[in-house]
Amino acid sequence: MSLECLSSAKSFDGWHKQYSHPSTSTHCNMRFAIYLPPQTATGEKVPVLYWLSGLTCTDENFMQKAGAFAEAARLGIAIVAPDTSPRGEGVADDPEGRYDFGLGAGFYLNATQAPYNEHYQMYDYIVHELPKLVEENFPVTSTRAISGHSMGGHGALMIALKNPERYTSVSAFSPIANPINCPWGQKAFTGYLGADQSLWREYDSSLLLADCKPEDRRPALVDQGDADSFLTEQLKPEALTAAAKKSDFPLTLRMQSGYDHSYFFISSFIDDHLRFHHQYLASS
């Protein structure tokens, strides 16, 4: 597969690099960024944390704002941040031009409804295509963890719950925890998946977590700010708590006093999340 390097910058003795490539899943060019810690300079292969960003974001938001590279360099963890949706000429967008659907709002699912089903196959891209590409082209192992924010927190939890064999651990900041019961999720699921709510349930983290079998449980950490303006209407962390209780799932959900939905919040606790994942990545 053809990889085009768009940018490269040294950071904490490692390298942040941004790439573009033609995707067989989304049928358009996709962009992602990777941080390679200094351990890879000597040929060592390192595990990978996949980061999924939120509505309106690209790969750049996390890589430029989260402040994750110092701890990732110390721990020897690569970070891969994909874009949040397919983009480019011919890729369908929200007909009303809203931020919460279409470009920048792929919701990490496989769309079934035209015209979105042609390109919006983000689930396949994140779960299968991107890891294969990364593991074939960079000094990394097949040991993976996954994390994300808001829509990306939804994506990280949902993908880890559906693919426990692929990830050692999962974490999220301010995830859309119960998308079938919030306006963001209902709009996205209707547009991408249609009216059949049995398809919606396949992408709802709280419902998946409630039904999680003991052998499929993976350690999970969620941080949520109690000053988040989206907390009550859109995020609904209480649904995760109830689901974890139902299935006896090992979920740690921390309500963080005074924090909002921004990258100020993420940057305050990202080191905690890297250390959380490291203990499981290192033991796999």
Token digits of residue 100: 């919460």
Catalytic: which of 59, 204, 223, 228? 228
Cβ atoms of residues 236 and 209 within 8 Å: no
In angstroms, what CA-CA distances link 142 with 24, 34, 192, 218? 21, 15, 30, 17
150 is catalytic: yes
Which helix H or strand E contains 78, and what residues bound it? Answer: strand 78-82
Q: Which amino acid is at 8?
A: S
Helices within the chain (DSSP H only): 59-65, 69-75, 122-124, 130-137, 151-162, 183-193, 197-201, 205-210, 237-247, 263-281
Residues 254 and 203: beta-carbon distance below 8 Å = no
Catalytic entry in 150, 171, 174, 206: 150
283 is catalytic: no
> In the numeric block, which tokens belong to residue 169?
């651990």
* Known catalytic membership, residue 261: yes
- State the catalytic residue, choosing from 16, 149, 261, 277: 261
Whole-angstrom distance, CA of residue 16 vs CA of residue 33: 7
Query: Which residues partner with 233 through β-bridges?
Result: none
Nearest-5° Cα angle at 281, 205 to 12: 105
Q: Any idea which residues carry the catalytic annotation? A: 150, 228, 261
